[in-house]
């Protein structure tokens, strides 16, 4: 019905097409009736409801009320659809990732959170590394993060008696020793950001608050601290760590301490958000706990483990796998009991008992189908057989490596003379490096720990203990003196260096061990009886200062934390005619450092004249603390070129003297650092200022450690001359590996892969 308001005229089923106004002020309406006949109506004085606005052509189009309502309703429906689509898209992104530009979707980052119960030190680090081995050796790219809930910024100021050794990364990060396990097991290079501490996170959050990033809000543990943790994890987890530019598929996160500790509650709250349906497939929780076996009862007890699982659930996390650590293999009825009280399926209960070497732990997990459980739980994309065949290292290789560790019968005894021998973890990387070298030397190794204080001339220990300590040193095939700080026990180390030098016993001094060797030579060969280090005696005369502090690392102005010479740095050999150069096989090397004191360049020429030849040196920049060549200044580059130039028939001592005179103090001019030394006419007397143990790997042992084991077992001369296979373990594996491979994975033999062992790990 169309009605002209004010005129009383009505038209049934008429449709208004347009409305115009003529020069007389009359309004002309045009339309069609129900029979599609044209209608024209002129009227004067239309109400303002129908009067059109004046436009340039005086013409407009009208929609009736129903059409307007339909249009509004359609717009509203479109809006609701867009809201629904956006929500659905967000869910799809969380579950399937974003497109990578090639038509494929980038898979979402997957996380495996490893927690522990009952006791600390239950083996979370080895379990985490072993899970990474399963993933990596089946084609997945893996990264790792360690969360330490203490308030320290990093591990740099820890006593070795507190948390064991301090592991040093390429970028100078001082971190927990578990990151060393990650690097050795997974063949990756991590950074300081891969280690989260509560102190570091508090510092990060408070710095943001001071900058005003929180816009005046009250900063709290939840949500600000927990958000910062998740943001840190998500950022670091995506960084490539295996030498490629490809993002990892899975990040393994180890939460230090035990479930129930107040220090770790905020981290559990942070990861609780992954229990949301949209994120549930992105996080898997592996809970490691101890099945106790008290001697008093004679039977294993699972109640402590049940309680730890209960605490974990109370914190908001659901365990996907329960790793049961025990001294003996886990019996079936215990698995059923743990599954019942832990509210999990029996397939989710994994037993890991004590084994002869840590390289067997991944095999235990593989036998119990842990890899399949991870792939299913995290919805990981299957890896093709072609990719698995191209892997440099797979589980067949790992199986053979674990068997080799127990296959050698001939034993080599190494005496480790140190200050922190009461706790084995204080020298964790040294122990691993010795084990790697022993495998390549085809020898079983026995490490005997000797407290250096017992070897001092004025030792307060009983004569029986001192005699027993010296007997251990004298009965060993080789001696190693590792790093340390402070003067306690140093005199015993110096006497050990003297014994090894005078009796032609293979010797390796690392960091402080090399400094002790230099002090011993200065005292007994140069005749400087009071020779010492300024670390131990601040009142030394200039001639007595064999070891000095580095001015740019002065602790009086910068404190102790993070002020040492840290991280991976370049060293060059001054001559090709030295044992270490032949072991490394190249003129320039990169190793990790952690020291604040160095051998005084002023006494280096005199020490060299007495037979302690400094065959390797490095340069410290005044403006750059990293090891990359492009950061070298013109003056330091000239020093490095002079050091690495090897003229025929050159006089090494003259070259050393010239370089020491050219070096600066490290503040005003680039300084030369004494990195490696060897004793002339000795079977193997080697010192390194760097820590070669940090870069040792099961497939590529550290050259200084390999030299020590070869010398201790009487194989060094044949190795250097080339009459012995350069890679003893690899040659053995190449002989036996094909038959083992054919038995376990015959499909992998379709493409020969023996040459992969010669890669650089």
Active site residues: 511, 691, 693
Secondary structure letter of residue 54 according to DSSP: P
Span between the terminal Cα atoms of the chain, in Å: 87
Output the six-digit token pair for 557: 């102005």
Tokens of 718: 């044949």
DSSP structural state of residue 147: E
Q: Are 169 and 192 in contact (CB under 8 A)?
A: yes
Cα–Cα distance between 64 and 135 in angstroms, integer? 67
| Nearby residues of 78 by Cβ (< 8 Å), 6 or more positions away | none
Q: Per DSSP, what are the bridge partners of residue 350?
A: 323
DSSP structure string for 221-257: IIIIIHHHHHHHHHHHHTS--SSSSPPPSEEEEEE-S
Burial class for 535, CB neighbours closer than 10 Å (0-12, 13-18, 19+)? middle
Question: Measured between alpha carbons, how far is 532 from 329 in angstroms, rounded to an integer?
Answer: 53
CA atoms within 13 Å, Cβ hemisphere of 571: 27
Please tell me the distance from the alpha carbon of residue 206 to that of residue 120, in angstroms, as a whole number. 29
Dihedral angle sign, alpha carbons of residues 583, 585, 590, 596:
positive
Q: Give yes or no for a contact between 750 and 761, defined as CB atoms under 8 angstroms apart.
A: no
Return d(Cα 438, Cα 397) in angstroms, integer: 18
Integer-rounded Cα Rg, in Å, for the chain is 36
Q: List the strands of the sheet with 15-21, edge to edge.
A: 15-21, 27-32, 38-43
| Contact indicator for 599, 547 with CB cutoff of 8 Å | yes
Backbone angles phi, psi at 732, to 5 degrees: -65, -40
**DSSP result, 396-450:** HHHHHHHHHHTT--SEEEEEEEES-TTSGGGGHHHHHHHHHHHHHTT-EEEEEEE
Q: How remote is the C-alpha of 482 from its chain's centroid? A: 23
**If DSSP codes are grouped into helix, strand and coil, which group holds residue 27?**
strand
Q: For residue 218, how far is the Cα from the chain centroid?
A: 34
- Segment 631-638 long-range contacts (CB within 8 Å, at least 24 positions apart): 633/670, 635/669, 635/670, 636/670
User: Using an 8 Å Cβ cutoff, are 317 and 336 in contact?
Assistant: no
Q: 139-156 in b/e burial notation, b at 16+ Cβ within 10 A?
A: bbbbbbbbbbbbebbbbb
Q: Are 505 and 478 in contact (CB under 8 A)?
A: yes
Helix (H, G, I), strand (E, B) or coil at 602: coil
Question: Who contacts 40 (Cβ-Cβ below 8 Å, separation ≥6)?
Answer: 28, 29, 30
d(CA 98, CA 92): 9
**Secondary structure string (H, E, C) spanning 268-318:** HHHHHHHHCCCCHHHEEEEEEEECECCCCCCCCECHHHHHHHHHHHHCCCC
CA distance 292 to 338: 13
How far is residue 480 CA from its own chain's centroid? 27
Other C-beta atoms lying within 10 Å of the C-beta of residue 26: 13
3-state secondary structure of 323: strand
């Amino acid at each position: 019905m169309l009605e002209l308001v004010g005129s009383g005229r009505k038209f049934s089923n008429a449709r208004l097409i347009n409305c115009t106004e003529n020069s007389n002020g009359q309004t002309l309406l045009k339309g069609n009736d129900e029979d599609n006949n044209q209608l024209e109506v002129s009227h004067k004085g239309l109400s303002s409801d129908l009067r059109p606005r004046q436009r340039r052509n005086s013409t407009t189009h009208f929609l009736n009320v129903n059409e307007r309502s339909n249009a509004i309703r359609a717009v509203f429906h479109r809006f609701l659809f867009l809201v629904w689509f956006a929500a659905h898209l967000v869910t799809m992104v969380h579950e399937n990732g974003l497109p990578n530009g090639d038509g494929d979707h980038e898979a979402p980052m997957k996380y495996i959170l490893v927690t522990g119960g009952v006791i600390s030190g239950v083996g979370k680090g080895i379990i985490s590394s072993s899970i990474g081995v399963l993933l990596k050796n089946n084609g997945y790219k893996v990264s790792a993060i360690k969360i330490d809930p203490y308030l320290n910024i990093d591990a740099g100021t820890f006593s070795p008696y507190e948390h064991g050794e301090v592991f040093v990364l390429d970028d100078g990060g001082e971190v927990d020793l578990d990151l060393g396990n990650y690097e050795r097991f997974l063949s990756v290079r991590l950074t300081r950001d891969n280690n989260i501490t509560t102190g570091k996170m508090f510092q990060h959050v408070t710095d943001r608050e001071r900058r005003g990033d929180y816009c005046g809000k009250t900063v709290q543990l939840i949500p600000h601290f927990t958000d910062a943790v998740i943001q840190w994890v998500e950022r670091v987890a995506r960084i490539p760590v295996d030498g490629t530019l490809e993002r990892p598929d899975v990040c393994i996160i180890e939460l230090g301490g035990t479930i129930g500790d107040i220090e770790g509650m905020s981290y559990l709250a942070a990861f609780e958000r992954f229990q949301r349906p949209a994120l549930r497939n992105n996080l898997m929780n592996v809970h490691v706990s101890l099945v106790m076996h008290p001697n008093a009862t004679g039977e294993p007890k699972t109640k402590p483990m049940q309680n730890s699982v209960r605490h974990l659930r109370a914190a908001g996390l659901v365990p996907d796998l329960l790793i049961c650590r025990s001294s003996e293999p886990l019996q079936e009825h215990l698995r059923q009991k743990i599954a019942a009280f832990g509210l999990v399926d029996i397939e989710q209960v994994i037993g890991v008992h004590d084994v002869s070497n840590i390289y067997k732990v991944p095999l235990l997990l593989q036998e119990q189908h842990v890899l399949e459980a991870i792939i299913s739980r995290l919805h990981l994309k299957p890896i093709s057989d072609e990719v698995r065949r191209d892997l440099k290292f797979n589980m067949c290789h790992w199986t053979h490596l674990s068997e080799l560790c127990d296959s050698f019968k001939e034993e080599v005894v190494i005496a480790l003379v140190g200050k922190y021998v009461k706790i084995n973890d204080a020298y964790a990387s040294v122990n691993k490096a010795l084990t790697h070298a022993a495998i390549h030397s085809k020898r079983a190794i026995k490490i005997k720990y000797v407290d250096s204080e017992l070897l001092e001339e004025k030792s307060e220990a009983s004569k029986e203990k001192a005699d027993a300590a010296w007997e251990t040193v004298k009965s060993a095939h080789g001696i190693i003196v590792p790093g340390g700080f402070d003067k306690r026990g140093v005199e015993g180390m110096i006497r050990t260096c003297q014994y090894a030098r005078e009796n032609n016993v293979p010797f390796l001094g690392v960091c402080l061990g090399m400094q002790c060797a230099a002090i011993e030579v200065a005292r007994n060969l140069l005749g400087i009886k009071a020779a010492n280090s300024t670390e131990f005696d601040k009142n030394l005369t200039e001639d007595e200062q064999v070891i000095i502090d580095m001015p740019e690392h002065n602790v009086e102005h910068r404190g102790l934390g993070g002020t040492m010479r840290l991280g991976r740095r370049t060293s060059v050999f001054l001559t090709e005619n030295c044992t270490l150069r032949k072991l490394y096989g190249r003129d320039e090397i990169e190793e990790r450092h952690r020291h604040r004191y160095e051998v005084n360049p002023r006494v280096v020429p005199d020490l060299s004249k007495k037979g302690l030849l400094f065959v390797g040196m490095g340069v410290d920049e005044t403006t750059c603390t990293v090891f990359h060549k492009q950061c070298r200044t013109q003056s330091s580059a000239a020093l490095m070129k002079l050091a690495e130039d090897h003229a025929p028939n050159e006089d090494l001592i003259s070259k050393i003297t010239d370089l020491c005179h050219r070096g600066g103090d490290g503040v005003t001019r680039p300084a030369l650092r004494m990195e490696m030394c060897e004793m002339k006419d000795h079977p193997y007397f080697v010192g390194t200022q760097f820590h070669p143990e940090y870069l040792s790997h099961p497939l590529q042992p550290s050259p200084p450690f390999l030299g020590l084991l070869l010398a201790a077992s009487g194989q060094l001369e044949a190795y250097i001359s080339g009459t012995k296979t350069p890679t003893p373990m690899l040659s053995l594996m190449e002989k036996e590996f094909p038959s083992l491979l054919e038995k376990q994975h015959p499909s992998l033999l379709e493409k020969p892969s023996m040459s992969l062992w010669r890669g650089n790990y």
